[in-house]
Amino acid sequence: MHIAFFGAQASSDAELDHHPMRGWIGDRLTAHADGPTCFDHARSRLASGRVEHVVCAYWVSSARFEAWAADAEVERWWHEPERLAGPYGAWREVLWVPRDRQESIYWKDYPAGLMSSPDIAIFPTPYCGYYGAMRDRLPAAAIDPLDTPEDAGLAPQPARNGFGEHWSVRPPQNLALIRSANTWGRMDDEQRADYDAKLRGPLGAGMDYLAGNPLPTGCACMRWQDTTDTDGVRKPEAHAHAYFLSLRHMERWAEDHATHAAIFRAAIQRYRHYGPRNQLRTWHEVFVLPEEGQRFEYVNCDPGTGLLPWFEAERLA
């Protein structure tokens, strides 16, 4: 399977509305004959204040992905000289994920993420509700600890300005990606008030901690995003899109840190209080990436974008 993220970056939401990448997304991605089997949109804000519109796209069929990627018009846009000038940045994180390096949890009545694909079948799992379940749902973890190499780490790369440059970043083996979402769109007034009072705060605090502490946590990038439609209109869902040095780094925060304990405690209290009446819906996907087959490129972007501040990289322009 391939999953790809395409980001349009600007100084404001108003500027995003005029971003040249909007045409590429419509013509060369979502409407393409070999385009993704499903996709979604989101917006988020960098620490610098710049804003991003992000499209997440899934290809279940490798043949379909390869046909899309081989289209010269799809690729040409990224190398046009005007990409390196002006107020707009663009980036792409195009990932290959073998089946045994994927795990997910969804609500059957709330299709989202990869579950939205008509090519995907969803089955119940007994591996949930306890620390370690995430690893137990990854087939590859039965024979591989999925750790990064011993010499891998987060070393800041201050020489990368980002603006006016095109960089290709090479992360280490077993970088771990998580998409984790929650929606309040189905809640009545009473359950929404309970969510706002008891769960929204811990969620935000946990994401802020990860975003602000990459070195101790191993969280190389945290995007705390609002799910949107094509035009950036917010939907009642928020989700994290984060890269960790390894699955073990992700587990360490989930199992040992007070910010995650607060999220877990608030969620459990909610489930116990509402039981089958609970109207909160959540979903998550975790992918552990092999070293080969990954593409992380940043064009005219803020130096704090994605993986641009870390790891080995080649300047392409």
In this structure, of 149-158, 230-239, 240-249, the range with the lowest mean pLDDT score is: 149-158
Determine what percent of the chain is predicted with pLDDT higher than 90: 95
Does residue 128 or residue 176 have the better pLDDT?
A: 176
pLDDT at 286: 98
Q: Please give the mean pLDDT across all residues of the chain.
A: 97
- pLDDT by residue (tens digit) across 94-120? 999 999 999 999 999 999 999 999 999
Does 133 score more than 90 pLDDT? yes
Does 247 score more than 90 pLDDT? yes
- Split at pLDDT 50, 70, 90, the class of 129 is confident
- Split at pLDDT 50, 70, 90, the class of 151 is confident
When pLDDT is averaged across residues 127-134 and rounded to a whole number, the result is 90
User: Which residues form the domain of 178?
Assistant: 2-315
Does residue 266 or residue 128 have the better pLDDT?
A: 266
- pLDDT by residue (tens digit) across 40-94? 999 999 999 999 999 999 999 999 999 999 999 999 999 999 999 999 999 999 9
pLDDT at 67: 98
Distances (CA, A) of 253 to 127, 214, 250: 19, 11, 6
Does residue 57 or residue 130 have the better pLDDT?
A: 57
Domain count along the chain: 1
Does 131 score more than 90 pLDDT? no
Determine what percent of the chain is predicted with pLDDT higher than 70: 100
- pLDDT by residue (tens digit) across 272-304? 999 999 999 999 999 999 999 999 999 999 999
pLDDT at 13: 95
pLDDT at 155: 93
pLDDT at 299: 99
Does residue 120 or residue 309 have the better pLDDT?
A: 309
Does 150 score more than 90 pLDDT? no
